[in-house]
């Protein structure tokens, strides 16, 4: 018996063309090399696979049976090669990205829209979650890329920093008396505060900022989405901590205004992460190129 694929490939083309000469041309071999390969295959089975005739060669009964199996394998190999070419050219495949609802909606959406238009054959899968959840998705192989707030320090992850965002406190018309005033952190804490859930990177960041000034920030309301932060503030249920870029429309139209503080709030950064030393798909590599 033989596990030499090259011998089976010679057999396939000899049977397919009915000619050792044509098989040699197809495989860029000499005719003696083709004859020798078939002889090796026949000797390994102890069977005659071809009859020689005036026109070339024809399969014996045993050769016909072998060809029925080899033909199926060759079809699968051809399909596999076509699939690899399609994946390389991004004609099909999939892209799995993890991130928060807010980052998908307010940051990633234009990039996703552009990518889908360029590569309509790629199936897009979005996994929603907090930063810790997205990191877990990545390590478990459930996603190819994660989009999260920085900083991320993990030796298993490779992180590419992207854009800078600015967080701020906003309020609606109920708090119009605070417009054009500069508040201290102590004064701000006299009002109901609305924050993201505790596992969010934004929540962790503002908690650390207040703690560095000797204050503990305790929200009256905790929510799980930016849309709720915006809507609750608009309705006057409290003062929300949001990303300024995500409320640009509301600030421009006047349904929200920014609370001015007597301390600067540091900017935050968005990062694109993937598993270090793990090969990325063509689709994931092409998507990352959009951020360079």
Tokens coding 142? 């459930």
DSSP string, 38-107: HHHHHHHHTS--EEEETTEEEE-HHHHHHHHHHHHHHHHHHHHHHHHHHHHTTSSEEEEEEE-HHHIIII
Residue whose structure tokens are 């298993």? 156
Domain 93-164+270-289 and domain 167-266 have a common topology: yes
Tokens coding 50? 């071809």
Q: Tell the CATH superfamily of the 167-266 domain.
A: Periplasmic binding protein-like II (3.40.190.10)
- Asked whether 181 and 261 are in contact (CB, 8 A), the reply is no
- From first to last of the 292 residues of the chain, give the pLDDT tens digit: 556 889 999 999 999 999 999 999 999 999 999 999 999 999 999 999 999 888 889 999 999 999 999 998 888 887 777 777 767 767 778 889 999 888 888 888 888 999 899 889 888 999 988 888 899 999 888 899 999 888 888 889 998 877 889 999 999 999 999 998 999 999 999 999 999 887 788 888 899 999 999 999 999 999 988 899 999 999 999 999 999 999 999 999 999 999 999 999 999 888 899 998 888 888 888 888 876 5
- Asked whether 196 and 232 are in contact (CB, 8 A), the reply is no
- The Cα–Cα gap between 226 and 232 comes to 10
**In the chain, what are the domain boundaries?**
5-88, 93-164+270-289, 167-266
- The CATH-assigned architecture of domain 93-164+270-289 is 3-Layer(aba) Sandwich (3.40)
- The CATH-assigned architecture of domain 5-88 is Orthogonal Bundle (1.10)
- The Cα–Cα gap between 52 and 48 comes to 11
- Tell me the angle at which helices 282-289 and 109-118 cross, rounded to the nearest 10 degrees: 130
- The Cα–Cα gap between 239 and 120 comes to 42
**Helix, strand, coil tally for the chain in percent (to 5):** 50, 25, 30
């Amino acid at each position: 018996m033989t596990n030499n694929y090259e011998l089976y490939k010679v057999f396939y083309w000899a049977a397919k063309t009915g000619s050792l000469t044509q098989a040699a041309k197809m495989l860029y071999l000499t005719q003696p090399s083709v004859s020798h390969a078939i002889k090796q295959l026949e000797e390994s089975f102890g069977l005659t696979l071809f009859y020689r005739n005036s026109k070339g060669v024809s399969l014996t009964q045993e050769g016909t049976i072998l060809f029925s199996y080899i033909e199926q394998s060759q079809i699968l190999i051809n399909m596999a090669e076509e699939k690899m070419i399609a994946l390389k050219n991004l004609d099909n495949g999939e892209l799995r990205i993890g991130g928060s609802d807010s980052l998908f909606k307010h940051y990633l959406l234009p990039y996703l829209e552009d990518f889908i238009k360029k590569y309509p054959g790629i199936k897009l899968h979005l996994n929603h979650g907090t930063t810790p959840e997205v990191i877990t998705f990545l390590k478990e192989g459930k996603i190819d890329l994660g989009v999260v707030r920085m900083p991320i320090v993990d030796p298993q992850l490779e992180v590419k920093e992207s854009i800078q965002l600015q967080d701020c406190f906003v309020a609606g018309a109920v708090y119009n008396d605070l417009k054009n005033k500069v508040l201290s952190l102590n004064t701000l804490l006299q009002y109901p505060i609305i924050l993201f859930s505790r596992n969010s990177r934004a929540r962790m960041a503002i908690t650390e900022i207040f703690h560095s000034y000797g204050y503990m920030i305790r929200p009256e309301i905790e929510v799980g989405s930016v849309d709720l932060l915006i809507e609750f503030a608009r309705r006057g249920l409290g003062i929300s901590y949001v990303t300024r870029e995500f409320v640009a429309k509301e600030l421009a139209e006047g349904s929200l205004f920014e609370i001015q503080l007597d301390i600067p709030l540091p900017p935050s950064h968005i990062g694109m992460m993937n598993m270090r030393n793990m090969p990325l798909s063509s689709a994931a590599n092409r998507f990352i190129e959009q951020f360079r």
